[in-house]
Amino acid sequence: MRGYHRDATTSPLSRKQTGSYEVIPESVQYLYRLYSKEVVHLTKELCLKEEKLTSIPLVMRNFKHLHKLDLSYNLLTSLPVKILDEYFPHLTSLDVSYNRLGSIEDIQQLGKLPLLQELNVLGNPLLAVNQRPLLLSLLIFNQSRPTREQLEGMLGYSDAAGRGTTKQDSSG
């Protein structure tokens, strides 16, 4: 649900529904109160921006058809890729900007999400930020280190444009 924002509170959802008593954003609670579980199950986009989340609530597993998930401006310190993959098998866009993600390994694991096309990790205190090319290559090439030529091609460099060299015409 876009634009709806309230502070996270203790959930009125039952323990049976969530598996435990956990903090669930009011926006998610609102969806459950207003709509049936079937409608929630069909939700394609969800914005949980500024909800003070420290983890992904278990109740989120009911949002199986999400394509776009905005978890920006929360308090996440890790991203359990196994949970993301299990809960959101159709996820194509993930925004985890401005959280507390500090591990390149967590971000690297997102490369395992088969349909993910857009990822925003800006504003996180990622360690080894000077390793951005390596991080990008690990995400794109799924755990295998690319060659220099692959990276240059990916960045749009050609022999003529990227390194200032040109092929000489020998006919002349």
Per residue in 123-141, pLDDT (tens digit) is 888 765 555 666 666 666 6
In eight-state DSSP terms, residue 120 is: E
Where would I find the H helices in the chain? 15-18, 26-34, 37-41, 81-87, 104-109, 132-140, 148-154, 159-162
- Distance between CA atoms of residues 22 and 78, nearest Å: 17
User: 């800006």: which residue's tokens?
Assistant: 122
Local confidence band at 24 (pLDDT 50, 70, 90 cut-offs): confident
Q: Does the structure show a pLDDT above 50 at 9?
A: no
Q: Provide the edge-to-edge strand list for the sheet that holds 118-120.
A: 45-47, 68-70, 93-95, 118-120
Confidence of residue 14 (pLDDT cuts 50, 70, 90): very low
CA distance 34 to 53: 22
Please identify, in words, the CATH class of the domain defined by 8-127. Answer: alpha beta
- The least confident of 79-83, 133-137, 142-146 is 142-146
Percent of the chain with pLDDT over 70: 59
Residue-wise pLDDT tens digits, 90-119: 999 999 999 999 887 778 788 888 999 998
The residues spanned by each domain of the chain are 8-127
CA atoms within 13 A on the CB side of 106: 19
